Every structure is written in C-alpha cells, then in structure tokens.
Structure 1
C-alpha cells in the first residue's frame, strides 16, 4: 500500500472519495455529509491531502484546511474505503497528514472535531488534548461548514459552545513528542513526505 501526498495523479479517485464520505456520514447518522467535487479536487491538486492506494485502487483519504490566517490547521475528511477498514489504515493516514500539516504550518495549532472513538485515540497518540470549543478557531467560515452536519441545530442551540463532537487540539509549543519520539523543529522543516510512501498494513 502507498500513502502519498496528493497530486493531480490522484484526481481519478475524487468521485469515489466524495461518495464514500457522504455514505459514511449517512451510516453513522452524524458528521459532515458531503464536500463538493470542486472542493476536493482543489485539495488534491494543491497537495493539501493524503491519499492511500493499493494496486491502483483507492484505499483512504484525508485533507488539510487552514483557518484564522494560518493560525489553525484541521486534518479533515478522514475516510477509508470499506474494503480496507480494520487494518490500521486510518492511523497511517492520520500520521501522514499530521506530519504534512506540521511541515507546511509548523507554528499552527492543529485541531479536530470528531464523534469517533478511534479518531480520538489516534489524535491522542499524536499529542492532541481534549479542549472546549472556545479554544478552536472562531473563523465563521469554519463553523458554517457544520451546516451540512445533521447535528447543526444542536450546535446552534448551544451557541457553538459544544455539540456531540469532541474538540481536540495540538499546540506546537506544548508538544515536542509524537508517538513517544522527540521531534526537532529541523526535522519538521526538512520532512519530505516520502518515508512512509511504501508502508504496508
């Protein structure tokens, strides 16, 4: 299996990715329902995503989004093809996209909102901590993205102070270890994204 920083070569998978994001949200009854083809295409083309493939077949996906003028970064849209679940793929993708985020935005806080226990565990292993919503970006565009979620009414009733999702945050100055390994700033700056490209599960 290959886990790569996205490029135009991966655009062939965009429709499958979009559909599985939608289907997965419907099955769970929560989460962001759908992103447009145009939105996902730009993420992939700009190298702001990670795509996992095996023998030419799409395996998994996650993308980077920035908020508050680059002060915050979110690793969003994590999805794994049903044929490849329960094989540790999500962990590998999250590690890869997290490293890409740290490389591109070394001073940004990395955050996520999730209802999934598995994602919470992965985030925790990467150094994220649970926080209240006020610790996240207050960028209106970010919160407007929640309008597609089935729980948006709950979020608004609670005045965006909390919802069913757990908020988690990685703060660079408070973290110098990832998975127990000391991370030097020079390593982040020099990270080329190629080490994990041939990881197998």
Structure 2
C-alpha cells in the first residue's frame, strides 16, 4: 500500500454543489474502468451524476488539495422502498488505499440515514464490491428480491451483458445481486 502524505490525505464526505466540477471525470473513469476490466456497467451521464450531487445523494472522496479520488451515489425505487448503492469508482491514482471501502461505508450510512426502512441493494460483477457489501450485512439474493421498477432495469441497457439479462427474462445475468434488508437485520 502506498504511503499517504499530508498532501494527499483523503476526505470522504457527502458531495456538495461545488463537486459538480468532477462529474465529467467521474463518468469517464466509470466507463474506462469497465472497459479495462472487460465487465459490464450501465453508463451514467454527466447530467445524472450532477443531479445526484445536487440532491445530496452522492459521496465523494477528494484529497485535501481538491483532487478527485472516488465517488458513489444512491438512487431510490418503488416509492423509496428500495435504494441502490451505485457507481462506486476510485480514480486509478488512488486505488489500493482502502478508499473504495471508506466510500462504500459512507454511501451505505447515507442510505440508512435518508431511507432507514428501505432495502438497500447492489448488483456487481466485482469481487471487491461483493466483499465490501458482505461486510456491511448485504446478502446474495436472486433478482426477484430486488426492485421491479422498469426504470432501474432500463439502466442495464448500455451494459455489454444486456443481451444475457434479456435472454434470461430479467431473472439473472452476470452481476451478483446483494441486498441489505433492515427488517431482517433487526430480527438478527
């Protein structure tokens, strides 16, 4: 793990209006990272990232000098019964420092504060994200346990694996579905 100096110390916080300046870099890195890994990802527009920032539904990681290091956002579905934690990305220069875990923890907490009764879900092909979610109490589920909102699934249309999702009738794909159900957690 690279040493961290005071100059590149990372601040992870809920994104603010001034952070819209990073939206283009965030979307570009999301797409570039997916291509480099050869995995599918729903494309996000710069406008959608700006919207999440302005709504207070995003978490950003920055150096103390204001260099963008990472990002994630949340989205609600079915009258806020479901929340998706999405778009987790860390800039290549800041990887292998545990920043993704810190962002994931922060977006999860933001989801719980804003929507305490909602089921929180994530779909991913990445083992690292699966491990992060598991540590937070997410469990693997079938796609039937997730939102049935067509708008959510429309987002998968830009993924390279969309044909697989369609051929399976929307029941499964290459992504693993993970769910945090606060009602289940309180029972345990």
- 1:31 shift after superposition: 2.5
- Distance in structure 2 (CA, Å) of the matches to 1:77 and 1:31: 12
Task: Give 1:197's aligned residue.
Answer: none
- SS of alignment partner, residue 90 of structure 1: helix
Task: Give 2:109's aligned residue.
Answer: 99
Aligned: 1:51 with 2:60: yes
- Distance in structure 1 (CA, Å) of the matches to 2:59 and 2:106: 7
Aligned: 1:68 with 2:78: yes
- Distance in structure 2 (CA, Å) of the matches to 1:135 and 1:114: 15
Task: Give 1:122's aligned residue.
Answer: 132
Task: Give yes or no for contact 2:69–2:90 (8 Å, CA) kept in 1.
Answer: yes
Aligned: 1:2 with 2:11: yes
- 1:148 shift after superposition: 0.6
Task: Give 2:40's aligned residue.
Answer: 31
Counterpart pick for 2:96 among 78, 86, 102? 86
Task: Give yes or no for contact 1:26–1:33 (8 Å, CA) kept in 2.
Answer: no
Aligned: 1:157 with 2:167: yes
Counterpart pick for 2:151 among 138, 141, 146? 141
Per the alignment, do residues 61 and 128 of structure 1 end up closer, same or farther by CA in structure 2, a change over 3 Å counting?
Answer: same
Task: Give yes or no for contact 1:94–1:122 (8 Å, CA) kept in 2.
Answer: yes
Per the alignment, do residues 15 and 147 of structure 1 end up closer, same or farther by CA in structure 2, a change over 3 Å counting?
Answer: same
- 1:36 shift after superposition: 1.0
CA RMSD in angstroms comes to 1.4
TM-score, normalised with respect to structure 2: 0.92
Listed as ranges, the gaps of 5+ residues in structure 2 are 1-9
- SS of alignment partner, residue 106 of structure 1: coil
Listed as ranges, the gaps of 5+ residues in structure 1 are 183-201
- Distance in structure 2 (CA, Å) of the matches to 1:120 and 1:50: 19
Aligned: 1:77 with 2:87: yes
- Distance in structure 2 (CA, Å) of the matches to 1:154 and 1:168: 19
- Distance in structure 1 (CA, Å) of the matches to 2:44 and 2:142: 26
- Distance in structure 1 (CA, Å) of the matches to 2:105 and 2:170: 28
